[in-house]
Amino acid sequence: MQALRLARPRALPRPFLARSIAAASPAHATAAAPVAPHLPPEPIIPLSNVEAQWERLSPDEQLAVHQQLEELQKKDWKTLSIDEKKAAYYVAFGPHGPRAPTHKPGDTVKLLLGTLAGIAVAGGVFAWFRSRAPPPPRSLTKEWEEASNELAREQKMNPISGISSEGYKGKGFVTHK
Amino acid sequence: MRAQLVSTLLRARPAATRVAPAIARAASSHAHQETFESFTERYVNFFGQAQDLFEVQRGLNNCFAHDLVPAPSVIEAAVRAARRVNDYATAVRVFEGIKEKVENKQQYREYLDELKPVREELGINIKEELYQE
């Protein structure tokens, strides 16, 4: 159907156009809406399937559907079929043009997967960098820090308020738990 | 010299004789609130007189823009206006608008029941009836 549409040149004469559309959806071609008898013959665009076709119709064909529906809605609304009512509603207020939804149905999953993939890649890069990093310096061990404390007390470093003062409760240079 | 004196005297008249009388104006004159009844009446009249689709849809936009749900009589007038301008889709859309404005499904149901005679008279299906899952 897509290929049919792509192969169809834009400037085809009207009757052929109409026939090609009817042929494109043979199941609905027979359900074409009855047009009021006093009207000139319009291109047959089945109203039963207007929702599916609307985006693909050319502006001319959309205009034809508009006019067809305009005439239909002048009749008593009780005589309209449900398909004609749906077509009238869809063309006026359906989700196309400015009322098209911002996201298509599958978009949420796509966004979620994309975000998770991004986070996973970032985590992978981080882990790879960490795995190739040199080990931490030897002065960052607990033993080294305790030895630093001993040296500081030996040398009476900061005797008034710091590590060598009386009753000192702090940890001094030890940063490890 | 004389003319100058006269003009000075004229300018020196007490101000009260020159100013316009004070216009009576309440402190909160902007807070004029339209009652729900007059709102309803205004829109029933509006939809009764609307002549084309643009006018009907403009009225609907205004009417549904307030912080209230239009009374059933307004809805009926709007739907009949849609019938007059031969636009079925707008009639369906009016009911969709009510669904947006009401607080809960129960109220929507009550609106639908209240307006059932009009819907049946004009042959309007609501959107849920058109697009049954």
* A115: in domain: no
Report CB contact under 8 Å: A86, B131.
Answer: yes
Q: Which residues of B touch A (CB under 8 A)?
A: 83, 86-93, 96, 122-125, 127, 130-131
Choice among A32-41, A112-121, B21-30, B34-43 with the minimum mean pLDDT:
A32-41
- Cβ-Cβ contacts under 8 Å for A57 (sequence gap 6 or more): A21, A45, A65
pLDDT band at A121 (very low <50, low <70, confident <90, very high): very high
Q: Does A9 score more than 90 pLDDT? A: no
Residue B37 has pLDDT above 80, yes or no: yes
Of A44, A95, A37, A96, the residue nearest A71 (C-alpha): A37
What pLDDT was estimated at residue B1?
53
Query: Phi, psi (5° rounding) for residue B22?
Result: -60, 135
Task: Pick B19 or B44 by higher pLDDT.
Answer: B44
The pLDDT score that the predictor gives to residue B22 is 56
Residue A44: inside a domain, yes or no? yes
* Domains, chain B, ordered by start: 34-130 (1.25.40.40)
- Residue type at A9 in one-letter notation: P
Give pLDDT tens digits for A143-170.
999 999 999 999 999 999 999 999 899 9
Q: What is the pLDDT of residue A134?
A: 93
Confidence class of residue A4 from pLDDT cuts 50, 70 and 90?
very low
User: Could you give the number of structural domains in chain A?
Assistant: 1
Residue A152: its pLDDT value, please?
A: 94
Does pLDDT of B122 surpass 70?
Answer: yes
Q: What domain range includes position A30?
A: 2-99
Instruction: Look at residue A75 and tell me if it is in a domain.
Output: yes
Contact B92 A89 (CB under 8 A): yes
| Residue pLDDT, tens place only, A69-107 | 999 899 999 999 998 999 999 999 988 888 988 988 899
| Stronger pLDDT, B32 or B24, i.e. the higher one | B32
Over range B70-96, report the average pLDDT. Answer: 94
- The DSSP letter of residue B119 is H
A165 close to A153: Cβ distance less than 8 angstroms? no
Q: What is the DSSP letter of A135?
A: P
Residue A28 lies in a domain: yes
Residue % of chain A over a pLDDT of 90: 46
Rg of chain A in Å (alpha carbons):
39
Task: Give chain B positions within 8 Å (CB) of A77.
Answer: 83, 88, 91, 122-124
Sequential DSSP letters for A33-92: PPPPTTSPPPP---GGGHHHHGGGS-HHHHHHHHHHHHHHHHS-GGGS-HHHHHHHHHHH
pLDDT grade for A8, boundaries at 50, 70 and 90: very low
- Taken as a whole, chain A contains a residue count of 177
CB contact under 8 A, A86 and B92: no
Categorize the per-residue pLDDT at B24 as very low, low, confident or very high, splitting at 50, 70 and 90.
low
A112 in any annotated domain: no
Orientation of helix A59-74 relative to helix A14-24, angle to 10°: 80
How does the average pLDDT of chain A come out, rounded? 80
CA distance B101 to A15: 46
CA–CA separation, A46 and A26 (whole Å): 10
In this prediction, residue A26 carries a pLDDT of: 42
Tracing tokens 């307006």 back to the chain, one arrives at B115
Q: Please list, in sequence order, all residues whose beta carbon lies within 8 angstroms of the beta carbon of residue B110, skipping any fewer than 6 positions away.
A: none
pLDDT digits (tens, 9 = 90+) for A18-71: 444 444 444 444 444 444 455 555 556 778 888 888 888 899 989 999 999 999
Give the best residue of B83, B88, B129, B133 to mutate against chain A (max A CB count within 10 A): B88
Is the separation of the CB atoms in B94 and B112 below 8 Å?
Answer: no
